Amino acid sequence: MVLTAAAVVVACSDQPAPLGDAADLAVAVAPLQLEGIAAACYGLRVENASQEEVWSASHLCSTRYGSGAGGDIAYVGTCDASDGEEDNTVYLTIEGLYLDDADDDGDFGAGDPTAEFVDPCTAPYAPNGCAMPARCVPNGDARVDFDVTVMRPAQQGFFDVVVNFEDVFCSAKVDCVREGDAPIELVFDPVSGQRIPTVVVAFACSDGDDDAATHLYMDDLKLYCGARVYDYDVAAGPGNVDPAAGGPVSRFAVFEGRDVSLGGSPGDGIYWNVALGLSPSYFGAGSSEPKDCTLHGRATATAGARANGVLPAGTYPIIDFDVPLTSAAGARVCTRHPLGSSEVATHYTHPETTVQLCNEAAPVADDAVDTRSIADCPAICAPVPPPTPPAGVTYGGVYFPGGDASFADAVVSFDPLFSGGPAATSPFYQFPEDVVGPPDWTTDLARGAVSLGNGGRLVMRFTDNALRGSGDDAPDLHIFEVGGDVESMYLDISKDGVNWLSIGKIGGAISHVDIDAYGALPTDLYRFVRVTDDTEQGETDNTYRGADIDAIGAIAT
């Protein structure tokens, strides 16, 4: 296995013997293009088609196996080419970026200080590492290419937070209120002539040098209100734009221009801001229109133009806007949402997926900026059809209005020995993926739930929905605990998988939890749930040790 061009490597003596027939596997990782980085260290793991580990290695630092600051390395290894196991998967993890040299021979991680970065190869983006498939052929060669772009904080004062895409500094936010929670009223209503409540979407970037001009890319902004979708062309400005009458936005304004506050070369910064004026008639008390509206959009930046808005191949950052604006009654729930919040978050493109954004903002003569819709992607720019409202479902007497999408659908981590164990020994209760989706446990003699183990811990994630407060004392979260023993556990929830809100000890069986009672708001989006077994309750001498979790569902979502 040859790993070249960026930052991953191990010594051959560190590998366990591969499974089955072996073949060569070449893995290429493109160089990280980040200024000031002296070293990068990685981990690597190869699994066969049965998800059995072929080999793994860690502390693969570019200072020893590559060109150091460039991050490129070279490595030779094997993959599993035995019958039925040819479809291997290579997993890449980023262990650290260092401003000083990192020595993987005992002083691993000694870079001082460690460079901060957002890791695309860990939770919530890729809990098991960035993955690429590899078809392993007996006595043949296979090749896998990783092209990973990481994001670093830039700590410069523009909007709220600045981040670095390669060497492109970007900032974004969505605000509905000013400091002190006074509503923003910026746009003039075309009917009354009065200023109306306004949603400000702000986006700005600079590539930091004169070599290639900064270009911004953004999809049309969309408001999802009930089952309806309203599309707003961000390239229709500059200035005021009056959309079709009758929608949730009576007028919006587009602002574009140059800005140097992000650093880099003078005049190389570009801003592209949109102010959406919310219609008083649409959200008024006498209106029968669906008023639970959420803002959606995507944006990114590149050094130089991208043909037809197609982003660079590999793993590339995109800022996603996913901001609840109003409740079902039309009341404002949007506040201030900076980049890095769950509502304005950076995600990464998949290395095998072509991603195209519809609109471009580019510098032109006289320090001006020109925005345009890209003609070659009409399917992307066109309004999407209204989503079909999910059909509610009932499990165990609990009604979920969001249907089967209400349930946690990804495993972040599972540690049955978190508190020392012992772990469960039943062959049917050791698979955390059995918690994914709706409850389906039927018997102790078949898979369908996972035993936490005595004091064990499980972390699950919602990917296509989020848990939020309901604004009342009704249950918001349901945990289905099964089996003969009713065992309690400790519950925590999190927006980002890092900072946790402790709910405390909850009972077993079907556990109803009102997260509003613990400070959660309808505007909060919790995507992570962590359960830890109570070591003082339940049997420790049987095969089903610890609470047995079948499913985790969000009713307020």
Return the higher-pLDDT residue of 528 and 60: 528
Same-domain status, 347 and 420: no
Structure tokens at 193: 């002539």
Q: What confidence score (pLDDT) does residue 472 get?
A: 86
Residue 1 has pLDDT above 50, yes or no: no
Same-domain status, 85 and 160: no
387 within some domain: no
Return the higher-pLDDT residue of 385 and 213: 213
Q: What confidence score (pLDDT) does residue 335 get?
A: 92
Which position has the token pair 């196996």?
65
Same-domain status, 84 and 167: no
Residues 6+ apart with CB under 8 A from 414: 432, 450, 456, 457, 458, 459
| E strands present in 185-268 | 185-188, 195-206, 214-218, 221-225, 228-232, 239-241, 249-259
Q: What confidence score (pLDDT) does residue 5 get?
A: 27
Number of domains in the chain: 3
Return the higher-pLDDT residue of 239 and 379: 239
Listed residue (158, 309, 282) closest to 220, CA to CA: 309
Which long-range contacts (C-beta less than 8 Å, at least 24 apart) are formed by 243-249?
Answer: 246/282, 247/223, 247/279, 247/282, 248/223, 248/278, 248/279, 248/282, 248/283, 248/289, 248/291, 248/293, 249/223, 249/276, 249/277, 249/278, 249/279
pLDDT above 70 covers what percent of the chain? 71
User: For the whole model, what pTM was predicted?
Assistant: 0.51
Return the higher-pLDDT residue of 3 and 518: 518
Same-domain status, 520 and 372: no
Confidence of residue 347 (pLDDT cuts 50, 70, 90): confident
Q: What confidence score (pLDDT) does residue 420 get?
A: 86
Q: Concatenate the DSSP letters of all residues of 33-53 into one string.
A: --TT--EEEEEEEEE-TT--E
Same-domain status, 193 and 178: yes
Q: Which of 148, 173, 188 is the last residue of a domain?
A: 148
Q: Which one-letter DSSP state was computed for residue 486?
A: -
When mean pLDDT is compared over 37-46, 164-173, 284-293, the highest value belongs to: 284-293
Residue 271 has pLDDT above 80, yes or no: yes
Q: With residue 190 as reference, give the H or E element that holds it.
A: none
72 within some domain: yes
CATH of the domain at 408: 2.60.120
388 within some domain: no
Could you give the C-alpha distances from 434 to 167, 174, 429, 431, 545, in angstroms and in order?
42, 37, 9, 6, 16
Same-domain status, 249 and 350: yes
Same-domain status, 432 and 344: no
For 417-455, write each residue's pLDDT tens digit. Answer: 998 888 887 777 888 899 999 998 887 777 888 988 889
Q: Which one-letter DSSP state was computed for residue 68?
A: G
Residue 193 has pLDDT above 90, yes or no: no
Q: Which of 381, 401, 427 is the last residue of a domain?
A: 381
Q: What confidence score (pLDDT) does residue 459 get?
A: 94
For residue 504, the enclosing domain spans 393-554
Q: What confidence score (pLDDT) does residue 442 get?
A: 83
Same-domain status, 123 and 33: yes
